[in-house]
Copies of this chain bind each other. A is one copy, B any other.
Amino acid sequence: MTSLENSEDTLFIGIDGGGSKCKAIISNLQGDILGIGLGGPANPFCDMPRALSSIVEASENALMDTGLENKLLSCLVAGVGLAGVNLPQLFQKLQEWKHPFAQMYLTTDMDIANIGAHNGQQGAVIIVGTGSCGFISLHGSKHTFGGHGFPIGDKASGAWMGLQAIEHTLLVLDGFSSNSLLAKKVCEYFSVDTGYELSQKFVSQASREYAKIASLVFECADKGDIKALEIVNEGINYLTILAETLLKDPSTRLCMIGGLSKYYILKLEPKLASLFSEVLNQPEFGAVEFAIQNWKKKAPL
């Protein structure tokens, strides 16, 4: 057993890798935050070398932030949460990485979001932003629902909502569907008058471009627009089934997180909405907690 494994002074780093940026925090075993750092995009599925350099960048920034001059990344026990590592090949590739840490525990972005939301306890989350999915960690087993990606999955997500709104607007512009406030707002948003102009905006666009108009769908629904209500209600129905599935064991602590959660939570059946708990911590805190939990299993104190 090395000095690292039985030392109360061991430091931990939690890393939340995302498509736009990478966040790292450093804490001690008691969970006191000693430093925070940011890095570039860290989606290993899109760009593995970039993701790895972003992780190192964020980690070095966090280490610098601690002001601890005698510490190196090689002293830290890392918990890393990344999108896509539910793919066995990607998980394997990342495990083979000659990482700069003393030890690295790897898991999915959903897992660290879930650990963070429940402050290290077991529970479940619904994540609804650009994409959507459900994740549960209960009695030692973990399970994901949905999250199959755009355009085939991710129902109720911002990208799904944007796609519904654009499909509808194109039908209106072709004269195949009755006009609506939603179609009017979509045309205004993109400054277009014809289906041709609108469709040109979406040639080879990523899901996040669709997701940009999700708040507009909620806005039109609130003003009573029938089509927008239909889209929002289909999203709510999906999230309701998802929540009921995650709450099969009614003692499960369930949170909703992601950019659209603030809209959806207000629209759920009040009884169902009341079953959602407060998000206790952000994913990077989940990542550091994941590192601590795994390290404790290996190093009896």
Q: A175-B245, A176-B241, A238-B176 are in contact. Are A170 and B198 (CB under 8 A)?
A: no
What is the CA–CA distance of A166 and B149 in the complex, to the nearest angstrom?
12
Which residues of the other chain, B, contact A144 by a CB distance below 8 angstroms?
A: 196
Residue-wise, chain A 77-115 has the 8 Å CB interface mask toward B (1 for contact) of 000000000110000000000000000000000000000
Interface residues of A (CB under 8 A from B): 86-87, 144-146, 148-149, 151-153, 155, 163, 166-167, 170-171, 174-176, 195-196, 198-200, 202-203, 238, 241-242, 245
Of all chain B residues, the one with the shortest Cβ separation from A201 is: B152
Q: Are B149's CB and A202's CB within 8 A?
A: yes
In the complex, what residue of chain B is closest to A238 when comparing beta carbons?
B176
- Residues of chain B with a CB closer than 8 A to A145's CB: 174, 176
B195 touches A148 (CB 8 A): yes
Q: How far is the CB of A134 from chain B (nearest CB, A)?
A: 9
Q: Which of B146, B155, B170, B245 contacts A153 (CB 8 A)?
A: B170
Report yes or no: A148 in contact with B176, Cβ–Cβ below 8 A: no
